[in-house]
Every structure is written in structure tokens, then in C-alpha cells.
Structure 1
Amino acid sequence: MSDEDLWESIDRIQDRLASSQPARPPQEALLLRMLKLSEEVGEVAEAVIGATGQNPRKGVSHTWDDVQSELCDVIITAAVALRTLTPETREVFAAHLARVTDRSLNP
């Protein structure tokens, strides 16, 4: 999948979510989209706990493939949240990634 395909998919997902949700004030819709990100991060934690068998009642209930899948959901949800916040998602993300990359590789 190319970078362009990625952002087209994010646009399509965001459009679908926006059209299928009940009408809400824009600020409320944005806040709910941000809360969805917390839910997805919690699912990563649940999968890690399940993959390592840390819950004695459940034992090993997940795999590391489940963790990978949940991490992908976090990335997608974050991208959709960013798209909900700004239509310039690609440019905002690219500029931020460039700053983080520079800061991380050139301390």
C-alpha cells in the first residue's frame, strides 16, 4: 500500500464514521473520536496481558499476532482522529514525523 493509498483509506474511514454517527456538535464528535483512541490503547494492554499470561484467571488468552493487530488499530484510530481534527492530515503528519525523526536521529 502506498502512502497515498494509506491516506485515502483514512479519509474514507473518517467519512464513513462521520456519516454513520448521530449528529453531534463538532467539538463533541471530536472529543469522542479522541476517546476511541484510549479504548484502542486499552485493547493493546489487554492483548499484551493475555499474550504474557499475566491474568491468572484467564491465563494465556492472546497471541503476539493479536498484539500486532491491536497496535495497527491504534495507528488507524489515531490517523482517523487526526483526520477528524484537520483535513491537512498528510501534511501535518509528514511535518511532525520529519521533526521527530530529526530529533531522534540527530540529538
Structure 2
Amino acid sequence: MDAIQQLAKAEEQADELLNEAKKQTRKEQEESDKRIAYFQEEQDENEEKRKQELREKFDEEFRNIKEPLMEKTQKEVEQLQTISPEMREKALGLIINKVVNEYGN
């Protein structure tokens, strides 16, 4: 009888150890899941920051290219607006003659 009680007690202890191991495993899995979620969130934030930095960099590069071109174009427009009507008529006549001579024959 004593051996049966010892065997039952050993089984009970084994069950307790197994249950404790399962609890510990679940706890570690939950902690691991939390760390993974935190890491993923951190990666997402870093990726979003990097995207924003690239957008800002490209916007700045675009402005650096665009502004001089806009200034040059504006100066050319202003210069063209100062051409007298007589000069415009003469230039238009030259263009028409060239087109007619090249494509008209």
C-alpha cells in the first residue's frame, strides 16, 4: 500500500511539474509575442520615418531643380513680352515663310 501511495504521490508531483512547465511555457510565449509585436511596431515606425525622410529629401531636391528653372523661364517670358509688335510680326513672317518653303513644295 505504501508503494501505491508513493507512486500516486509521484504521479501527482509529475502532474504539478508538468502543469508548472506548461504555465511557464505559456508565460514565455506571451512575453515572446509581446517582444515580437513591440519589435514589429518599432520597425514599422522606423520605416515610416525613413519614408518621410526620403519624401522630404526628394521634395528639397525637386525644389532645388525647379526654382532656378522657374526663375529662368520667368525671365525669358518677361524678355519675350518686351519684344515690339513689329518684331513679332517679322518673326512670325519668317516662321511662316520657312514652314511654307519646307512643307509647301
Answer whether TM exceeds 0.5 for this pair: no
- Higher helix proportion: 2
Q: Shorter-chain TM-score category?
A: under 0.3
Q: Which has the higher contact order (CA 8 A, sep 6+)?
A: 1
Relative to the length of structure 2, the TM-score reads 0.27
Relative to the length of structure 1, the TM-score reads 0.27
Which structure has the larger Rg? 2
